[in-house]
Structure 1
Amino acid sequence: MPEGPRRSRSGAATIEEVARAAGVSRQTVSNALNAPHRVRAETLERVSTVIRELGYQPDQSARSLRSGARRTIGYLAPVDDPLDPNPLMAGFLEALVDAAGEHGRRVLLFRPARGEADPTAAIDELVAARQVDGLVLADVLTDDPRIAHVARLGIPFAAFGRTGPGQPQHWADIANDAATAGVVRHLAERGHRRIGYLGAAEELPWMAARRAGFLAETGRLGLSAAPLPLPDPTAPAASAEAVRALLRGPDRPTAFATGSDLLALDVYEAVRAEGLAVGPGGVAVTGFYDSPLCRHLHPPLTSVRLPLRAIAAGLVARLLDQVHGGAVPTAGLELPTELVVRASSG
């Protein structure tokens, strides 16, 4: 019976031992690690199997010195409250770390110094120190100055959120308008003809797109739409009060779509304060993001789920294409969402 590959007596396997066991050259093993697209599929599979069996670990420091690559991706982390973290971005970070790890990369988190609103100094410092191969940016706004800055620097980057016309299209995102249109169709299929909508600040392009998708689809289907005024961030109870006022009217909505799961909680509160029920036989409610709380509400909340792992994988792939000198994309990567239906929508 033939024996499998063995480790060297000195301990950790070497690249030469991997090459000998796989029956390939040392350069082929190097290509399998650093440029797998140059290696035939069957050869890549054979080399990868031997690497796993021998437990070979490349010398990352030596590789970095030779190539100039740091094998690290910088992530400009959005400002968040550690006592009330954003569950969506926490999930995205988890997905990003996994996606980077699939390519042998680590993720370095950074942000501006406390009290410093402009992130460009922090970006410049990281780039000057040659600590990363490229950057991932999130929560991209219209005419986002971070995009213009990294484009001027010429550093590889990828963005969770759409870059503007005339800017590099190194982004991955969802179609927020189409996702909300899907929610409207779901509610219409359940017989709802008058639907309210509660969103957030429209200077956030993803929120503006969700409201636009709601209005376009209710108009296309001939439904009665009741978009509420934007919430006042200085008055936490304002959203629930606006919903209550609408529910007291002569043509109260039988369903509400919202721009986030937290806004859906305001609708739950308002519906119950008016002596009505959420869900079957009552007022239908939907959220957006499918955060963990959705499963634990009563009734559980129907919500739009984002493909965070696919987004992260797409961003890392686009970033590494730039690092390796690949083709520059002329269009962003738009990924579909999933409407997770639960009892709240009837």
Structure 2
Amino acid sequence: MPEGPQRPRRGATTIEEVARAAGVSRQTVSNALNAPHRVRPETLDRVTTAIRELGYQPDQSARSLRSGARRTLGYLAPVDDPLDPNPLMAGFLEALVDAAGAEGQRVLLFRPAPPAGDPVAAIDELVAARQVDGLVLADVLAEDTRIAHVARLGIPFVSFGRTGPGEPQHWVDIANDAAMAAVVRHLAALGHRRIGYLGVDEELPWMAARRAGFLAEARRLGLSAVALPGAAGEAGPAPVVHDGPADVASDRPADGPAARAGREEPAAPSAVAAVRALLRGPDRPTAFAAGSDLLALDVYEAVRAEGLPVGPGGVAVTGFHDTPLCRHLHPALTSVRLPLRAIAGALVGRLLGRVRGEAAPAAGLELPTELVVRGSSG
């Protein structure tokens, strides 16, 4: 049986072949690919059909050479343990890749080379190689050297996390204090009048904001509250619970915030012990808000070690981030859900605006969170 004409291999078709199949000029095909608004709708349909049927793929490297655009965004990935990855940042990366892909962009991951781990040097190397059109930064700290450096370089950038006064406001973030205040209101509405908070190093801006939001809302509602420092390191002072708003001297670990900027680590054993000590007291909290879902696991452990149930009739517990583990705990964990897809989409949109030379936004963008209520809080 004679074989019909074979279709060219995918990627082997030329732009001239597409033009002949569509009955148009080579320039019209180019316009259809790069400036479709210049092409009449019926002509655009013919060109699009020919591209699809012939399996034509534009030479992206040639297009980049002509336009100067790489269609690639660099993401400075936080330092993490591949055997124990940060579930929040893993979810953010998925959302970022999807948001970039929807705009025809790729995401290039990079990280400082060990042992020095200098992010400034890693940024300089990437920029010198002209591999990306702009940068996405995350886990922004106060007076972050990365922000100051990319601002001096003049390369377009955005950050997941707010920058400081006097720095470019190219950030997207959530209101961590308001999110934790919503947790306090939820617990108060369930009848809890004595509540505790377990966090990590307060020098991490997002964790400091969560702690502040917890204490401010508890004070406003007249609740008895205590905040425990959950950072790894030596045990801090014993918690002091007051009738009414309470604060506790924080535990500052010797290694500082930068070493843990990419992760919010589980509480040290001393913090778990401190939760247990509170639960043994005469005015034990009936609810705990944790600064992350991983810290909520330590509260679960402490509550059960004291022979108490988690949830209704025992001790209510809430987390922060709404990572997948929340649904698999027993009882399932109430947690604050971050709008990761909206955050990623806003970051990509703002970054591409900077790449195109549009005016920089005067302020960062704050997106709302959602409290997902499950069995752990009743």
CA distance in 2, matches of 1:238, 1:281: 26
Give the alignment of 1:161-200 within 5 angstroms. Answer: 161-200=161-200
- The one-letter code sitting in structure 1 at the alignment partner of 2:147 is I
CA distance in 1, matches of 2:50, 2:95: 25
TM-score (norm 1): 0.88
In the alignment of these two chains, the number of paired residues is 336
CA distance in 1, matches of 2:286, 2:47: 57
Which stretch of the first structure deviates more once superposed, 221-230 or 94-103? Answer: 221-230
Give the alignment of 1:40-55 within 5 angstroms. Answer: 50=49, 53-54=52-53
- Say yes or no: does 1:282 pair with 2:314: yes
Q: CA deviation at 1:233?
A: 3.2
- Say yes or no: does 1:331 pair with 2:363: yes
Q: CA deviation at 1:17?
A: 4.4
- Indicate conservation of the 8 Å contact 1:196/1:226, yes or no: yes
Summarize deviations over 1:22-50 as a string: whole Å, max 9, x none: 999556424447xxxx779x89x969975
- Say yes or no: does 1:100 pair with 2:100: yes
- Indicate conservation of the 8 Å contact 1:8/1:17, yes or no: no
- Indicate conservation of the 8 Å contact 1:18/1:47, yes or no: no
Distance verdict in 2 for CA 1:239–1:65, change over 3 Å: same
Summarize deviations over 1:204-252 as a string: whole Å, max 9, x none: 0000000111111111112111112343435721111010111111111
Equivalent residue in structure 1 for 2:350, among 287, 309, 318: 318
Please name the residue that 1:145 is paired with: 145
Please name the residue that 2:253 is paired with: none
Which stretch of the first structure deviates more once superposed, 221-230 or 291-300? Answer: 221-230
CA distance in 2, matches of 1:17, 1:336: 47
For the residue of structure 1 that corresponds to 2:80, the secondary structure is coil
CA distance in 1, matches of 2:175, 2:129: 36
TM-score (norm 2): 0.81
- Indicate conservation of the 8 Å contact 1:15/1:29, yes or no: no
- The one-letter code sitting in structure 1 at the alignment partner of 2:318 is T
For the residue of structure 2 that corresponds to 1:322, the secondary structure is helix
Which stretch of the first structure deviates more once superposed, 220-229 or 49-58? Answer: 49-58
- Indicate conservation of the 8 Å contact 1:19/1:26, yes or no: no
- Say yes or no: does 1:257 pair with 2:286: no
Please name the residue that 1:219 is paired with: 219
CA distance in 1, matches of 2:110, 2:197: 36
Please name the residue that 1:272 is paired with: 304
- Say yes or no: does 1:299 pair with 2:300: no
Q: What stretches of structure 1 of length at least 5 have no aligned partner?
A: 1-6
Please name the residue that 1:3 is paired with: none
Summarize deviations over 1:295-319 as a string: whole Å, max 9, x none: 1111111111111111111111111
- The one-letter code sitting in structure 2 at the alignment partner of 1:258 is A
Please name the residue that 2:83 is paired with: 83
Distance verdict in 2 for CA 1:237–1:63, change over 3 Å: same
Please name the residue that 1:121 is paired with: 121
Distance verdict in 2 for CA 1:20–1:278, change over 3 Å: same
CA distance in 1, matches of 2:185, 2:70: 48
- Indicate conservation of the 8 Å contact 1:19/1:29, yes or no: no
Summarize deviations over 1:91-132 as a string: whole Å, max 9, x none: 111111111111111111111111113211111011011011
Distance verdict in 2 for CA 1:164–1:295, change over 3 Å: same
- Indicate conservation of the 8 Å contact 2:111/2:119, yes or no: yes
Q: CA deviation at 1:158?
A: 0.8
CA distance in 2, matches of 1:342, 1:289: 14
For the residue of structure 1 that corresponds to 2:214, the secondary structure is helix
Please name the residue that 1:14 is paired with: 15
Which stretch of the first structure deviates more once superposed, 129-138 or 17-26? Answer: 17-26
- Indicate conservation of the 8 Å contact 1:231/1:238, yes or no: no
CA distance in 1, matches of 2:277, 2:345: 44
CA distance in 2, matches of 1:234, 1:15: 70
Distance verdict in 2 for CA 1:47–1:194, change over 3 Å: farther
Equivalent residue in structure 1 for 2:340, among 295, 300, 308: 308
- What is the percentage of aligned positions where both structures have the same residue? 74
- Indicate conservation of the 8 Å contact 2:22/2:50, yes or no: no
CA distance in 2, matches of 1:168, 1:132: 20
Q: What stretches of structure 2 of length at least 5 have no aligned partner?
A: 1-6, 236-267
- The one-letter code sitting in structure 2 at the alignment partner of 1:192 is H
Give the alignment of 1:204-243 within 5 angstroms. Answer: 204-233=204-233, 236-243=268-275
- Indicate conservation of the 8 Å contact 2:15/2:29, yes or no: no
- The one-letter code sitting in structure 2 at the alignment partner of 1:281 is G
The ranges of structure 1 where at least 4 consecutive aligned residues each deviate by more than 3 angstroms after the TM superposition are 7-28, 30-33, 45-56, 229-235
- Indicate conservation of the 8 Å contact 1:285/1:301, yes or no: yes
- Indicate conservation of the 8 Å contact 1:255/1:284, yes or no: yes
Distance verdict in 2 for CA 1:21–1:226, change over 3 Å: farther
For the residue of structure 2 that corresponds to 1:269, the secondary structure is helix
- Indicate conservation of the 8 Å contact 1:302/1:342, yes or no: yes
CA distance in 1, matches of 2:84, 2:277: 29
